[in-house]
A = this chain, B = another copy of it.
């Protein structure tokens, strides 16, 4: 992750405006680290700095070590060319209001064009002051239930941090490793299975056989079985057929 902290500004910075609880600052630093957002600015934290609870909750996130602490809004925002204000309350200002998704799309284009982008989050008690919202290019508001809208500060930060990466595909190590069976292997498996079902008297009445075969084959096909799964199932069919033969022998004694 070190490289993130040495390269230029390839992601938006998050600016926490007068946060109260160290826990939330630490949780913010942790989730920013999770989603690859290296730059945190803390404006006038109520409980001073450094803050033990922030350190604990950050779970070792390098974002906290690299955080910049400022005491005036103008110092916190001075080198940004584009600012977003997060708010759950309409402010009656003439300013674009965006979903997080729309805002992230804008940020990505702006950063690619060389802009410095910051996202401001207000403190726990009353959110961003109008003074800060005024300096923003646009408002971001999250799709909360109007009747239960009070989102925890660290959760709001988690959501925007996630949105920054939301289009990223799962990493390669999540890809299945086995080969999907070819139709030829499935055909042999079906023939084997149906042969043993036939021998066991499963297809009755005979006129329904084509439909029963069709339904069974469809159910298997939907599973997109691997070569290994086909081998395992053929072994299972063989065991059942042989087992049944043995059981019948026992009962016939």
State A36–B151 Cα separation when bound (angstroms).
Answer: 12
Cα distance, A159 to B162, chains bound together (Å): 7
Which of A27, A152, A154, A174 is most buried by chain B, counting CB atoms within 10 A of its CB? A174
For A94, list chain B residues within 8 Å (CB).
176, 178, 226, 229
What is the bound-complex CA distance between A100 and B35, given in angstroms?
A: 14
Residues on B with C-beta less than 8 A from A90 are 173-174
Contact residues of A: prevailing secondary structure:
loop
Cβ–Cβ contact A150 & B31, under 8 A: no
Residues of A within 8 A of B (CB-CB), count? 56
**A250 within 8 Å of B (CB atoms):** no
What residues of chain B lie closer than 8 Å to A145, measured between beta carbons? 1, 4, 33-36
Interface string of A1-45 (1 = CB under 8 A from B): 100100000000000000000000001001101111000000000
Looking at the complex, which of A106-114, A164-172, A212-220 is the stretch in contact with chain B? A164-172
| Chain A 82-110 interface residues, beta-carbon cutoff 8 Å to B | 90, 92-95, 97-101
How far is it, in angstroms, between the C-alpha of A98 and the C-alpha of B158 when the chains are bound?
19
